[in-house]
Structure 1
Amino acid sequence: MLFLEMVEYILQSGIIISIFLCLLLVKKKEKSTAEIILLFWIFASGYITFSYLLVYNGNYLNYPTLTVLGFGIPLLSGPFMYLYIKYQTKPLYFSKIDLLHFIPFVLSNLLFIQFYFLSFDSKIEFLKGQSSVFETENFLRFIATCVSGIVYILVCFFYLHSYRKRLKFEFSYLDSINFNWMLMLNIGLLLVWIIVIFIPDDRIIFSSSSIYLICLGFFGISQAQIFTERELFFVQSKSDLADSDNKEYLTETLLAKDESSNIQYFEEIYNKSIELIKVEKLYLNPELKVLDLAILLNVHPNLMSRAINQISGANFYDLINKMRVEEFIRRTRTEDSQKYTIMAMAFDSGFNSKATFYRNFKAIVGTLPSEFLKSNQGSRESNT
């Protein structure tokens, strides 16, 4: 009895959390493509939980149509997860071709289209399992749901692996909260699908789905700041860039035709970016990324990365953190530096974590910050 009550409470909590998160996302003044996808994903997850709750507490006898409407929704979890990761890592506008990911969901609903024309009593018989109608359709839906879930989760892991590699070239920090958030979402969804496949108990399946929703809300609000206001940037698609009248927006395809003649162009981009970073002290922003620079200089982000890599021989991450280390060293040589701790000066220099600071300082200077400060203090005393 206690277990049954707990299941109902968990289901209700999942529904309430999904409504709350949807309201937070709707309330946001500026929503990225990824956040709009997340909004629909959370709504769909909340509805499938509501659909099962109707079955669990017996209310499906009163609302059979509302119950069946949730049958095909599990086919949306994989596409929503993939598209969310895609648009969270690339600030693009939604592409209509991505609507193809929802074809299985549409086909699944078409399989059950006859249900909506049945009499009320026939609908109840089907939901009670007293009718052999839709047995084949149910089997096909289950197989399609399992295959879709597994395939999309694997694709998402591959996509995140590729994104992790790009972090070092496009961002000035490796400890990306955004990456950890997306990885957690995918791992959580994987655990739910393992339960779906190996534990054929709807109570456990939908309870785990509700717990997933609750965790999504908690970590999304407390860590990833997904549901809070922030400034948004969108990058045009390659076709849009190619059609642009702005000559700064040259595509990589055009540049690749004559690589040797582009050295001067890369040097120009590189020099402008270095000057801007140093004059405006952009490296003090712990979340600085290539996209920010590209927007400021009106240059395609890919060209910006290539220019930095080719001219400096270093990636964006290493370049920015070298400037931060130099800033830290400058701060240690000021008269009031002894008033501050090492980490206080490190954070003021643009680093966002102790691990990142120590790792980069050791790699660039060749010693630990504390040892550097001791030797620097000793040289000061000897000079005086």
Structure 2
Amino acid sequence: MIYTTLLNIAIFQGIVLGLVILKSSLFNSNSNKYLACLLFTLSIKLLNHVFEIQQVFTSYPLLHIIDNIEWVFLMPAFLFLFIKSRTDHTGKWKQKNYLYFIPFAYSAVLNIINDLDHVAGVYTFSESGNRIIGILGLIHLFLAVTFIPFLPVYSYFMIRRLKDSQEKKWILTLLTMVSFVLFAWLITALAGLLLDYDISSTMSVLALCATFIIHWTSYIGIYKYKLAKNKEAISNFLNNDPAISYPNLQIVENNTPQEYKESITADNLYFQKLELLCKDQHIYTDSTLNREKVAEKLGISAGYVSQIVNTITGDNFAHYINQYRVEAVKEMMSNSEYDNYTLLTMGLESGFTSKTTFYKAFKKVTGQTPNEYKNTSK
């Protein structure tokens, strides 16, 4: 009873947290969407485990079709894309993200076709049909032992690009925990398949590990490090309740929507959201980006955008955006994927409008021209 209660709490928390991440403007970003989907996937796996414990599949056999889908194929994909979107500031490979879901799609289609015979009884495979399913099953097994380990391992190399030590620490911990569960699940599943080993007790332990990941992600990854530096202000911001006042926060009069003006620091909610827009959505690659566009995204005035940026960074809005563009160019220079790009092409793709503005901004940020930086960084 206690065991299933813990699982049910984790399932509920994972679903609610995922919805909050997707719906809240403070949490919502390209990278966090993948984190939300990872939490949903963990919740689905736990729910299937609870159904098995409660013998729901005995009462409703058709639910086996959902249970037999290997949702675990989604976990390395969502985890990898979460880390990839945190480190890839150019956004060049976003259009190829669907490739990471091909193993899951293959697995799901194969299992559903098989279950329509064995579970639903819609049709019966002939002997030749069973041989084909067997061959396709071997391909499915090959995908499991290659795809599931590969993405987490590759993620360890990608995570080194993160520059924020605090961010790197918690994401590395998340990666390690999820990788452990994935590797343990894979080894256990193979043992059960090849050695006729009873995997129920091991899977129960892994389910508890998954509940811990959900709780930990909620507290560390989202609440403690990301958006809760001023918890009362965030609660007010999310609930849109202007009637509550907080220390060190003052609402600007005659300004719609309301803006927090007093004691502007890096904890400022709008600045945090601006950072997310730059780091995760790469808005700086838009060459027409200006204060007005950013203000519209943040729901504040253009003047307040300038005030936030000037106060927190000590620079004007244009220089703040150009710093992200320069960092994107520097990453392209160090990435062999862009060896065929000219420096100007890198600059234009990062959001600069001309060679003059690109070179001027690059030298202001780095103290070197793009050519000098590229030569010295080799």
Contact 1:51 1:66 in 2 (8 A): no
Alignment correspondent of 1:171: none
Structure 1 residue 27, shift from structure 2 partner: 3.1
Residue type of the alignment partner of 1:32: S
Q: Determine helix, strand or coil for the equivalent of 1:225.
A: coil
Residue type of the alignment partner of 2:321: I
The share of aligned pairs that are identical, in percent, is 16
Residue type of the alignment partner of 1:15: I
Equivalent pairs, count: 255
Contact 2:362 2:368 in 1 (8 A): no
Contact 2:15 2:43 in 1 (8 A): yes
1: CA distance, partners of 2:87 / 2:120 = 49
2: CA distance, partners of 1:90 / 1:204 = 35
Contact 2:73 2:103 in 1 (8 A): yes
Structure 1 residue 60, shift from structure 2 partner: 1.1
CA pair 281-13 structure 1, distance change in 2 beyond 3 A: closer
Residue type of the alignment partner of 1:295: I
Structure 1 residue 14, shift from structure 2 partner: 2.0
Structure 1 residue 296, shift from structure 2 partner: 6.2
**Which structure 1 segments of 5+ residues have no match?**
124-131, 168-173, 247-275, 313-384
1: CA distance, partners of 2:142 / 2:12 = 30
Alignment correspondent of 2:338: none
> Structure 1 stretch 221-230 or stretch 5-14: which is displaced more?
221-230
Q: Determine helix, strand or coil for the equivalent of 1:29.
A: coil
Alignment correspondent of 1:253: none
**Which structure 2 segments of 5+ residues have no match?**
123-130, 189-198, 229-233, 239-271, 290-305, 330-357, 370-378
Residue type of the alignment partner of 2:3: V
If the length of structure 2 is used for normalisation, what is the TM-score?
A: 0.55
**Greater relative contact order, per chain length (Cα 8 Å cut-off, separation 6+):** 1
Structure 1 residue 50, shift from structure 2 partner: 0.7
Alignment correspondent of 1:191: 180
Q: Please tell me whether residue 8 in structure 1 is matched to residue 4 in structure 2.
A: yes
Q: Please tell me whether residue 55 in structure 1 is matched to residue 56 in structure 2.
A: no
Contact 1:92 1:234 in 2 (8 A): no
Matches within 5 A, 1:295-306: 295=321, 300-301=326-327, 302=329
If the length of structure 1 is used for normalisation, what is the TM-score?
A: 0.54
CA pair 280-211 structure 1, distance change in 2 beyond 3 A: closer
The CA RMSD over aligned residues, in Å, is 4.2
Structure 1 residue 211, shift from structure 2 partner: 2.0
Cα-to-partner distance string for 1:209-244 (whole Å, 9 max, x where unaligned): 222222222212332226877414247879x76xx5
Alignment correspondent of 1:39: 36
Contact 1:14 1:46 in 2 (8 A): yes
Residue number among 79, 82, 104 corresponding to 1:81 in the alignment? 79
Residue number among 36, 48, 65 corresponding to 1:68 in the alignment? 65
1: CA distance, partners of 2:318 / 2:35 = 24
Structure 1 residue 116, shift from structure 2 partner: 5.0
1: CA distance, partners of 2:208 / 2:144 = 18
Residue type of the alignment partner of 2:13: I
Over 6 Å off, 4+ runs: 132-139, 235-238
Residue type of the alignment partner of 1:154: V
Contact 1:33 1:91 in 2 (8 A): no
Alignment correspondent of 2:101: 102
